[in-house]
Structure 1
Amino acid sequence: MPGPKLLDPSSSPRAMLGAELRHKREEAGLTQEELGSPLFVSGSFIGQLEAGTRRMQMDYAVKIDEILATDGYFVRNCEAATKSKYPDHFAEAAEAEAIATTIKEYAPQLIPGLLQTKAYAWAVCRTYQPTAPEDVIDGTVTARLERAHLLDHPTTPLLWVVLDEAVLRRNTGGPAVMAEALRHVAELIRKHRIIVQVLPFSAGAHAALEGSLKLMAFADAPPLAYLDGLGTGQLLDDPATVARYELAYDLVGASALPPEASLALIESAAEAYSRE
């Protein structure tokens, strides 16, 4: 397995914890596997904590302090490192997404968060929380739009999205919102910043019928898969499980339209909404 990513400890609380964990583990003469064993996690998981691709949960912090005799250091610092502006079920995935080199996503119902416009994000968040105060919706939308700054870099991360045709046809927020949202996606495609395919209804049954799927790869840590549900999410690192989802994504991509035809369909749908 590649060595852990060398993080700047001053860059974030998670980076600080990862750097200190690596230092204390090596000082104790333990391998990642040896530290992971009493925690009932893999050596890869410890590597992901050190690399900053996984969050340190409090129960792990307690055990690590015991094993490494660090006098409560990880417990004291764990709370700050796990604070997030994202929902609990998505926070760890968002943090991993921020340092991924490649993101591949199958979106069955909605435009992915990284590609949403403000109006589209507002419509989605308001639908999810119909009785929430305006400032709560504002905060959620702002956090979602901030994630999109990942795409400010001209090449990294590589973002490859397969949109189900339902994403184009589901009128979210009204025709004007949909027209703007789809044109935004088309603009990113035409700037060669993202790769997008559309999985048409005519493709029939496919390998990801059961839900959304996000795959993340990193420069020096094992890949992760994230499964999203209604108010729930699972971040998975088991190599066999991730490989199975990578195959599912590849099969979906093979059934989808080529990028050029996908762009034409997206722009056609945007034009149809603009005429409504």
Structure 2
Amino acid sequence: MNVDGVEDGGWELDPDDDAQAAVEAVGRQLKLWREAAGLRPAEFGAAVGYGENLIYKIERGVRIPRPEFLDKAEEVLDAGGKIAAMKKDVERARYPKRIRDLTRWEAEVVELGAYGNHNLHGLLQTKEYAHALFEMRRPAYSPDKVEREVAARMARQSIFARTPAPALMFVQEEVTLRRPIGGTMVLRQQLEHLLDVGKLRNVEMQVMPTNLDDHAGMGGEIEILKFGDGSVVGRPDDQFSSRLISGPKETRILELRYGIIRAQALTPRESLAFIEKVLGET
């Protein structure tokens, strides 16, 4: 059984998250069900396998209950499916707001183009690589926040299973293939994953060699999203917001720059061979 201080039955909720009301409502309902069953917080915690401190936090709406916590509460309180049904209410709060927004946009794109210059694009990362990236953030993330961010990043990769499949184009700097984020084995697994993704029919993977003397990507990372209605937006790499650039002048500049970057990079076939070469050297 988990003890107080080990709160893996829920996630921290950002204070300014607009999903706060839903999480608080679920907490109130759980408290009512617990009290109706005649259980004190400590007794309920023992029954579901979590600490009393976590029960208080979930009931106050400051922790987001995990699906498995709600399943266990459903079983213990014999709620006739009513508690399990709450999983839908907290689902959108499970990931940070900026990631929920980004996931919604990525669910609607028909074409996505991205250029990365210091680490691999989030849609390309393995779980281990992403975990290592979030662990090295400064100021340091809490273990809970690292786990929540990694889970959100992995969930975004459902874009590869979409039907119809969107066109996905990635240009990665050579250094992002060589920097041993998480160690040598993590990097090897990551390179193997890139080879698998790069062979998908709707994916174009390109590498930008370091020794290029003319480079249109010196202004930083680029991401361009195109939608079915013909609209185009750009997304800057910003960990603090999920804002999009939608002005025609700005998006036209991004598209021009990205087109030149793709022309300067290795072709997709050359790039896969390059990644295989780096894997052999790692």
- Please state which band the TM-score falls in when normalised by the shorter chain: 0.5 to 0.7
* Residue identity opposite 1:213 in structure 2: I
Cα distance between partner residues in 2 of 1:252 and 1:106: 8
Of 240-249 and 91-100, deviating more is 91-100
Cα separation, 1, equivalents of 2:214 and 2:252 = 21
Q: Does 1:198 align with 2:182?
A: no
CA drift at 1:155: 5.2
Q: Does 1:209 align with 2:191?
A: no
**Counterpart position of 1:103:** 112
Give per-residue Cα distances to partners, 1:239-269, cap 9 Å, x unaligned. 1110110000001011101111100111111
Call closer, same or farther: CA 1:90–1:141 in 2, change over 3 Å. Answer: closer
Q: Which residues in structure 2 correspond to 1:109-120 (within 5 Å)?
A: 109-120=118-129
The residue number in structure 1 matching 2:187 is 178
What whole-Å deviation, never above 9, does each CA across 1:203-261 have from its counterpart, x for those lacking one? 23422212111001111151111111464554100011101100000010111011111
Letter of the 1:247 partner, please give it: L
Alpha-carbon separation, structure 1, partners of 2:107 and 2:166:
9
Matched AA of 1:257: L
> Structure 2: how far apart are the matches of 1:252 and 1:265?
17
Q: Percent identity?
A: 29
Match of 1:168 in 2: 177
Structure 2 gap ranges (5+) = 1-88
| Structure 2 contact 117–173 (Cα < 8 Å) conserved | yes
Cα RMSD, aligned residues only: 2.2
Query: Which of 139, 149, 164 is the equivalent residue of 1:140?
Result: 149
Residues matched between the structures, number: 192
State the 1:94 CA deviation.
3.5
Q: Structure 1 length normalisation: TM-score?
A: 0.64
For normalisation by structure 2, the TM-score amounts to 0.63
Tell me if the contact between 1:111 and 1:163 (Cα under 8 Å) persists in the aligned partners.
Answer: yes
* Partner residue in 2 for 1:219: 228
Inter-CA distance 84–209: structure 2 relative to 1 (3 Å threshold) = farther
Tell whether the 8 Å contact from 1:226 to 1:235 is kept in structure 2 after alignment: yes
- Structure 1 stretches (4+) deviating beyond 6 angstroms? none
Deviation at 1:88, TM superposition (A): 5.2
Contact 1:198 1:262 in 2 (8 A): yes
Aligned to 2:103, what secondary structure does the other structure show? helix
CA distance in 2, matches of 1:119, 1:155: 29
Q: How does 1:60-75 map to 2 (within 5 A)?
A: none
Greater CA radius of gyration, 1 or 2? 2
CA contact (8 A) 1:179 1:269 kept: no
Q: Aligned to 1:211, what secondary structure does the other structure show?
A: coil
User: Which 5+ residue runs of structure 1 have no aligned equivalent?
Assistant: 1-79
1:151 counterpart letter in structure 2: F
Structure 1 stretch displaced more, 248-257 or 167-176: 167-176
Alignment CA distance shift 1:252-1:140 (3 Å): same
> 1:206 and 1:94, CA in 2 relative to 1: closer, same or farther beyond 3 A?
farther
Aligned residue in 2 for 1:238: 247
